[in-house]
Structure 1
Amino acid sequence: MKITGYRTIRTHRDWGRPVGDVNGYIASGITEVSIVVVETDEGVDGVALGSDHDIERIFPALEGQDPRGVSALYDRMLAHVFKAGHNGATFGGIATLDAALWDIKAKLVGEPLWRLLGASDRFVPGYASGLDIALTDEQLAHFYSVMAEHGFASGKLKGGRDLEADLRRLRIIRDTLAPNSSHPTLMLDANESWNLKQAVRYVTAVEQELDLAWIEEPLRRWDAHGHARLSQSVKAAVATGENLTGLEQFRSLFDLGSVDVVQAGAVWGVTHFLRLAYAAHARDLPISPVGLTSNPAVAHAAAAIPNHLTAEVQDLGAPFGVDVDEEYADGGIVLGDRPGAGLSIDEAAIRSVQHEGDWLQAAGPHVRPARAGLTLDRELSASSPAFAPRGA
């Protein structure tokens, strides 16, 4: 069996609400979604959602190879981009191809990916995450009430600008999820917007009012020393790692005891998640995948590892023209029995409807404000210089 080619398809996701974080947001709530299909000489295609960045350069590492050797092919892709490096967006292209290979492997044996990977339970515990920085209090309550109807008892707020607003909005999440738990679990995500002392003061102030399970990405992703000092200064666990592109980038975080909840971006694929999960497990650390709406295959991997804590669920729908064999119930993801990663696509429907939408816009959450992290203030309004648009 050989890999013969690939094709890419662009569709969109309509989130039905503005989505973003402290760095910015997408007002339209419409974002582009890339689908990659890996083709074989036996007619079994692998389908994956994620990034198609740099795939033209990466694919020669796979062409003519047997798709069943997924782990070896993952290392082959890393080696293929050795000189320029696999970091950043290139890692996303590798990840999407990797997820498509896992889809092929599971389809060939007629099993859902979760079973192929060794899971005995199709249920993946999760928490609700609204990407909710731009939502009004009423919209915030509505989103979490819908998630509560699906059994979720944990929620994560995008915040970090205004202490009083974050406290008020965390209480809204707590109260909305209360029907499912007498003590709903709360998390706060600052998306790398703080410096160390600001983080200590802000989290300490929150903890005087509310119990935080974790503070997520409080500092820059590579600041192992800062995360270690913060973890020692607050009660909340420090969660980070979703933007690290490669197992090697976690070394200093592990060595210095900088991370309490290891996070992996689902957009970085199945093999990366599995390897990181076992590296964390060797250190008695839990792992939590971020953004399963970006790569459903990672939910299957989460079901199969021993130290999965909880998975981020940002949306109950799917991209246009994409059907995912899973349900949301009892506060988590219930994976289906469809062979592979459970994805099917309607290419004709996707071709007939096109919407413009991109995460990478100047006002969006993937563009870091020029003054982010350069303040000692505990409260930052939307008009603060730290969060002003470039050129403002």
Structure 2
Amino acid sequence: MLTATAHERPDLHTRSGGDRITSIEAFQVTWRPGDPPGRRTAFVRVRTEGGFTGYGEASPMMGGEHSLMVVRDFAGSLVGADPFDQAVISDRLLHRYIKLGPEGAVTGALAALDIALWDLKGKILGLPVHKLLGGAWRTSLPFYASVGGNAGRSVDEVLRTVEARWKTETPAAIKIRWDGDRTRQDHDIAGDIEKARAVRRLVGDGFPLAFDANNQYSVGGAIRVGRALEDLGYLWFEEPVQHYDVRAMGEVAQRLDITVSAAEQTYTTQALVDMINAGVRMVQPDIIKMGGITGLMQCAAICFAHGVELVPHQTQPGIGHVANLHVLSTLMHNTKPAEFADPDDRMHVAFGNPPRPENGEFTVPQGPGLGLQVQDEELDRRRM
């Protein structure tokens, strides 16, 4: 734990009588023995002199270690800062670390800190985050089951996996994800289409379906698959080509009738605008990858101004998931269900009120801050 003194950054200590930060911890939690890095959680914990604690989460890519290292580097300089100076803190840190690249590790670190500071502000004021954001249009949100790993499965295995999620969770929609080898484009287009067709037969003509290619097609391959998905009545076609090829993503979006979505791997608002200007009409930034709650609210404003759907990407069943629900509850035009990608209950031990789906919906917590009852002793027992 870092314990730098308050006088080290007097420019941040401006709110008279404020509840200032006393420590920031960045650590990885492993939930079960042998968990690979992607199954661990990258936590940020911020404590204040008044006894409040805020919790944030960074992207778990490679265990989140890259973002946690950035948090550890700037943590000492924030001791004594006022958590209500959140925008000043975030912008200062972004531009201090900008030469590391404004995407990836830095934005993941800032997202974790941002979520923790919103959690803190809500607890200090005694209000849930959605109230601080302007209020919730709804406090129960439908979700879609995001079913991954289908590139390596046979048709029958895909059907068994999808049916298990469909029957046990009763989601409002289902998305089938490929998670294949991105170095092999157009590897099995006919097989991919057959899997999509089989899932449509399984759930029936009227059930909402989506298809996530995870960046595995060329432009021509994506258009071929997209045409098949249109015939099968799929609602959206996610990241059909490499995410960094914005021009190609826009070309596919403009040549297909099915909605093409992208931007789960977009980390700045400027890059989000580039994707929209290319022609993508549904964007999916992730709250723990770019900007946290503040960043996702900025994305919502951009989408509203451009007439584009915002359907955030979200794979974490704990803090990131709940933070995402708070933001989604405040959106007037919430056109699609929230993503529920990881039904594993491995994280539930760390929360007194873990988020659980019920009748195809998640309820937005109403307690102060994020509303999660975090069990610190359980986190500390499992930290790496």
Whose relative contact order is higher, 1 or 2, with alpha carbons under 8 Å and at least 6 apart? 1
Counterpart of 2:251 in structure 1 is 229
1:5 to 2, 23, 26: 23
Q: When you count strand as a share of all residues, which structure comes out higher?
A: 1
**Compared with structure 1, are the counterparts of its residues 130 and 263 closer, same or farther at alpha carbon in structure 2 (3 Å cutoff)?**
same
- Letter of the aligned partner of 2:258 in structure 1? A
- Corresponding residue SS for 1:34: strand
Give the number of aligned pairs: 339
Counterpart of 1:33 in structure 2 is 41
Counterpart of 1:125 in structure 2 is 142
Is the aligned partner of 1:287 residue 2:334? no
More deviation in 153-162 or 132-141?
132-141
TM-score by length of 1: 0.77
* Alpha-carbon distance in 1 for matches of 2:53, 2:42: 16
Counterpart of 1:251 in structure 2 is 273
Is the aligned partner of 1:321 residue 2:349? yes
Counterpart of 1:265 in structure 2 is 286
* Alpha-carbon distance in 2 for matches of 1:147, 1:73: 43
1:36–1:48 Cα contact (<8 Å) kept? yes
CA deviations 1:273-330 (Å, max 9, x no partner) are 1101110110111101112526121221111122333321012335263225433134
2:121–2:369 Cα contact (<8 Å) kept? yes
- Corresponding residue SS for 1:282: helix
For the aligned residue pairs, the C-alpha RMSD in angstroms reads 2.8
1:200–1:230 Cα contact (<8 Å) kept? yes
* Alpha-carbon distance in 1 for matches of 2:36, 2:226: 31
CA deviations 1:154-179 (Å, max 9, x no partner) are 1111237533443443355445555x
**Compared with structure 1, are the counterparts of its residues 8 and 143 closer, same or farther at alpha carbon in structure 2 (3 Å cutoff)?**
farther
State how 1:120-269 maps to structure 2 within 5 Å. Answer: 120-133=137-150, 134=152, 137-138=156-157, 140-159=159-178, 161-174=187-200, 177=203, 183-208=206-231, 210-256=232-278, 258-268=279-289, 269=292
Is the aligned partner of 1:71 residue 2:59? no
Unaligned runs of 5+ in 1: 15-25, 356-392
- Letter of the aligned partner of 1:312 in structure 2? E
More deviation in 302-311 or 162-171?
162-171
Counterpart of 1:346 in structure 2 is 375
Is the aligned partner of 1:311 residue 2:326? no
2:137–2:332 Cα contact (<8 Å) kept? no
CA deviations 1:220-240 (Å, max 9, x no partner) are 223332222212222211100
Q: Cα offset for 1:38?
A: 0.7
CA deviations 1:125-164 (Å, max 9, x no partner) are 3211022324563465345434444331311112375334
Counterpart of 1:374 in structure 2 is none
* Alpha-carbon distance in 2 for matches of 1:61, 1:289: 31
**Compared with structure 1, are the counterparts of its residues 176 and 330 closer, same or farther at alpha carbon in structure 2 (3 Å cutoff)?**
farther
1:114–1:301 Cα contact (<8 Å) kept? yes
CA deviations 1:22-78 (Å, max 9, x no partner) are xxxx99797111221011111101012224241123335633221123333322322
**Compared with structure 1, are the counterparts of its residues 85 and 352 closer, same or farther at alpha carbon in structure 2 (3 Å cutoff)?**
closer
1:95–1:270 Cα contact (<8 Å) kept? yes
1:237–1:260 Cα contact (<8 Å) kept? yes
**Compared with structure 1, are the counterparts of its residues 130 and 354 closer, same or farther at alpha carbon in structure 2 (3 Å cutoff)?**
farther
1:11–1:320 Cα contact (<8 Å) kept? no
More deviation in 140-149 or 301-310?
140-149
1:277–1:307 Cα contact (<8 Å) kept? no
Q: Cα offset for 1:217?
A: 0.8
- Letter of the aligned partner of 2:209 in structure 1? L
**Compared with structure 1, are the counterparts of its residues 109 and 173 closer, same or farther at alpha carbon in structure 2 (3 Å cutoff)?**
farther
- Corresponding residue SS for 1:127: strand
1:240–1:263 Cα contact (<8 Å) kept? yes
Q: Cα offset for 1:202?
A: 2.3
Identical counterparts, % of pairs? 24
* Alpha-carbon distance in 2 for matches of 1:61, 1:307: 39
- Corresponding residue SS for 1:341: coil
TM-score by length of 2: 0.79
**Compared with structure 1, are the counterparts of its residues 13 and 242 closer, same or farther at alpha carbon in structure 2 (3 Å cutoff)?**
farther
* Alpha-carbon distance in 2 for matches of 1:351, 1:252: 41
- Corresponding residue SS for 2:22: strand
